[in-house]
Amino acid sequence: MKTDKNTVIGFLLMGVMLVALFWYNNKMSQASIAEDNRRKDSIAKLEAAKITPAMKEKQAQDSARRDTANKIAQANSFGINAAIGKEELVVLENELMKVTFSNKGGRVKFVTLKNYKSFDSSLVTLGSNNDKLGYTINSGNNTPAETNELFFTPSTVVKNTDGSQSISYSLKDSSGKSVEHKYTVKPNEYMVDWNVALEHADQLLTNGAMNINWHVETQQHEKSPAYERQQVSNICFLEENAFDYISQKTERKFDKPVQWLGAVQQFFNTTLIAKNNFNSGNVIWARNKVDTSHLLATVDASFQIKVPTGSNANIPFQMYLGPNDFSVLKKQAPEMDKIVNLGRDMYSFVRPINKYIIMPVFNFFASFVKNYGWVILLLTLFIRLVTAPLTYTSYLSGAKMKVLRPELDTLKKKFGTDQQGFAMEQMKLFREAGVNPLGGCIPALLQIPIFFALYSFFNSNIALRGQEFLWSKDLSSFDNVIHWQNEIWAVGNHVSLFTITAVITSFLISIYNMSMTPTQDNPALKYMPYIFPFILFFVFNRLPSALTWYYTVSNLITLGLQFVIQNYIINHDKILAKIDEKRKAPKKGPSKWQERYQQVMESQKKVQEMKNRNGNKK
């Protein structure tokens, strides 16, 4: 035993020494690295000190000369004016927007929407200095050049007889090759027509392929960049006449013809349309991960168009830069109205509800009521009126349950902890009285498709954007009556008052319903009606105040209907009398569902009895 004890002590001492050795070596290593870094920094500072301002200026001049030489080489036969120039901007406008064009790339630089304001009260601008749209051409001797980097020669603005305005940007060389971009802005439209005309296209394009590159950076325009970035930004496109989108994925390859592709925000989109289709391509899309930035996402799309063989070619495009307005988008390219998310994927079943019921009724009320808060109230009344027959049936079922409650309480005392026995007798009592225990669930089940439909509708309805109601400054976003600086997990940095009203009214409904139904012994079932409203707070706090206002009104109507129906319409004495008559009437056999339920209860009771007997034997 003594030897074993000494051995253990020896191993412990060796372990302590090894740990000390490792710690010492690590400390010395870190000190050595720090000394090396200090030495390198000192050398770098000494080297930097040797570089005089004149040397720095010379380096800058050399870099500029190399850059200029590269640009001239790339422009090749189109000349130095195409390679080296000064950016000039021209603005064309109509009643809805101002379109700013640039001679660099001969393209649309950005668009300012006259009727919409951003989160900072400035007019909404789609496009930025980093956006690019161009394609590759051969500038001579098989030298590739990107039109984005070339300076075009602008024409004068032409006012057409139909009220539209046009401007052209051109590149020409001495051999007759030319590139022309012609843009047309029509009255009262968000669409810009863009026609590309190529002379000697067979020389400008390699193998008749027009390779288009499009870079877009979407910017924040709503109150919450995090919500706009994560919940509602996506890429939409029409591939072989079928609408589709990507939201969670970051890349999509197109092997079939694509009619259009759009970078979509909550209420605006920038869409590139090929009148003769893109033959193939791909898109890479990435959300910005920096929550403090106004940048939402970046889009890099590459497309290829096969240009017919010949010396001249015309390739027509269009660009939509405007709001996600269903009625407006419906008039643009095919299926563009589906950019407005009225229900997709597993919630696609609500799209017909929105398109053919919710939207027409909403627009009808909005045609004569100017305040959208009251429009939502009228819409809520309409929904509750349509669903009233089912709601009344559920309240009638609840009234029957209330009448039977004394008998159910008696059964509870009789059976005590025998849950299976109580359940079987309860089912027998319900069958004799003609009561459907699930009848009260109808309003809750009915709320599910309606809630999802309205969630999609209110979340994408641009008519609500910037509309004030009561304390809410914007019905399309949450109302932050209380807000603070730092984010709190699951809550955010604010409290929505409409969310509070929705939660409180839901809680009142839960209390009322619990008073109408038999007492539950199962803690989960007993307390869930109280827990559910609490959960609603975390779900609703970031949602549009239009939705939480609807939920509040709907709950208030529910409370009012329950009170009126239970106290003034439904006669509990008559219900009890009818139940007694039904009990005295000749008994019908149970339904198949009741038979199956009774069989399950009986089998569970037998299993429990067997367990009890086995436990008693032990």
Query: What confidence tens digit (pLDDT) does each residue in 176-193 have?
Result: 888 999 999 999 999 999
Query: Does residue 80 lie within any of the structural domains?
Result: no
Query: Does residue 514 lie within any of the structural domains?
Result: yes
Residue 434 φ/ψ, nearest 5 degrees:
70, 40
Are 297 and 356 members of one domain? no
Are 378 and 266 members of one domain? no
Return the structure tokens found at 74: 């790339």
Are 239 and 327 members of one domain? yes
Query: Does residue 606 lie within any of the structural domains?
Result: no
Integer Cα distance of 82 and 88 in angstroms: 13
b/e code 548-562 from CB counts within 10 Å (16+ = b):
bbbbbbbbbbbeebb
Overall average pLDDT of the 113-126 stretch? 93
* pTM for this predicted structure: 0.76
Are 382 and 445 members of one domain? yes
* Closest to 131 measured CA to CA, from 153, 85, 157, 100: 100
Residue 205: CATH number of its domain: 2.70.98.90
Are 327 and 181 members of one domain? yes
Q: Using the predicted structure, report yes or no on whether residue 421 has a pLDDT greater than 50.
A: yes
Overall average pLDDT of the 41-59 stretch? 66
Integer Cα distance of 451 and 536 in angstroms: 13
Query: What confidence tens digit (pLDDT) does each residue in 194-249 have?
Result: 999 998 888 888 888 899 999 999 999 988 888 888 777 899 999 999 999 998 88
Query: What confidence tens digit (pLDDT) does each residue in 152-179 have?
Result: 999 999 999 999 999 999 988 878 888 9
Are 317 and 391 members of one domain? no
Mean pLDDT lowest for which of 409-413, 509-513, 603-607?
Answer: 603-607
Query: Does residue 81 lie within any of the structural domains?
Result: no
Residue identified by tokens 């070619």 is 313
Provide long-range contacts, Cβ within 8 A and 24+ apart, for 518-527: 518/401, 518/404, 518/405, 518/408, 518/409, 518/412, 518/426, 519/409, 519/412, 521/412, 521/419
Instruction: Give the pLDDT confidence score for residue 570 in this predicted structure.
Output: 64
Integer Cα distance of 274 and 214 in angstroms: 13
Domain enclosing residue 522, as ranges: 351-587
pLDDT band at 518 (very low <50, low <70, confident <90, very high): low
Are 539 and 491 members of one domain? yes
Query: What confidence tens digit (pLDDT) does each residue in 244-287 have?
Result: 999 888 899 999 999 999 999 999 999 999 999 999 999 999 88
Are 367 and 331 members of one domain? no
Instruction: Give the pLDDT confidence score for residue 1 in this predicted structure.
Output: 45
Percent of the chain with pLDDT over 90: 36
Q: Using the predicted structure, report yes or no on whether residue 375 has a pLDDT greater than 90.
A: yes
What single DSSP character describes residue 367?
Answer: T
Return the structure tokens found at 351: 């799209």
Instruction: Give the pLDDT confidence score for residue 38 in this predicted structure.
Output: 77
Instruction: Give the pLDDT confidence score for residue 281 in this predicted structure.
Output: 92
Are 327 and 385 members of one domain? no
Instruction: Give the pLDDT confidence score for residue 596 in this predicted structure.
Output: 63
Looking at every residue in the chain, the average pLDDT score rounds to 81
Query: Does residue 72 lie within any of the structural domains?
Result: no
Query: Does residue 604 lie within any of the structural domains?
Result: no
Do β-strands 123-126 and 132-138 pair in parallel, antiparallel, or remain unpaired? Answer: unpaired
Instruction: Give the pLDDT confidence score for residue 206 in this predicted structure.
Output: 86
Query: Does residue 478 lie within any of the structural domains?
Result: yes
Are 489 and 549 members of one domain? yes
Integer Cα distance of 172 and 195 in angstroms: 17
543, 546, 552, 553 alpha-carbon torsion, rounded to 10°: -160
Do β-strands 165-172 and 158-159 pair in parallel, antiparallel, or remain unpaired? Answer: antiparallel
Higher pLDDT: 286 or 414? It is 286
Instruction: Give the pLDDT confidence score for residue 531 in this predicted structure.
Output: 77
Integer Cα distance of 285 and 287 in angstroms: 7
Q: Using the predicted structure, report yes or no on whether residue 102 has a pLDDT greater than 80.
A: yes
Return the structure tokens found at 328: 């407006």
* DSSP structure string for 263-281: EE-SSEEEEEEEEEEE-EE
Which of 340, 359, 389 lies at the terminal end of a domain, its last residue? 340
Instruction: Give the pLDDT confidence score for residue 563 in this predicted structure.
Output: 77
Are 200 and 114 members of one domain? yes
Mean pLDDT lowest for which of 82-96, 383-397, 462-476?
Answer: 383-397
Instruction: Give the pLDDT confidence score for residue 169 in this predicted structure.
Output: 94
Query: What confidence tens digit (pLDDT) does each residue in 324-343 have?
Result: 999 999 999 999 999 999 98
Higher pLDDT: 118 or 292? It is 118
Higher pLDDT: 362 or 46? It is 362
Which of 340, 365, 392 lies at the terminal end of a domain, its last residue? 340
Are 406 and 295 members of one domain? no
Higher pLDDT: 537 or 267? It is 267
Overall average pLDDT of the 464-487 stretch? 85
Q: 579 and 403 in contact (C-beta within 8 Å)?
A: yes
Query: Does residue 454 lie within any of the structural domains?
Result: yes
- Say whether 209 sits in a helix, a strand or coil: strand
- The count of structural domains within the chain is 2
Which of 340, 372, 396 lies at the terminal end of a domain, its last residue? 340
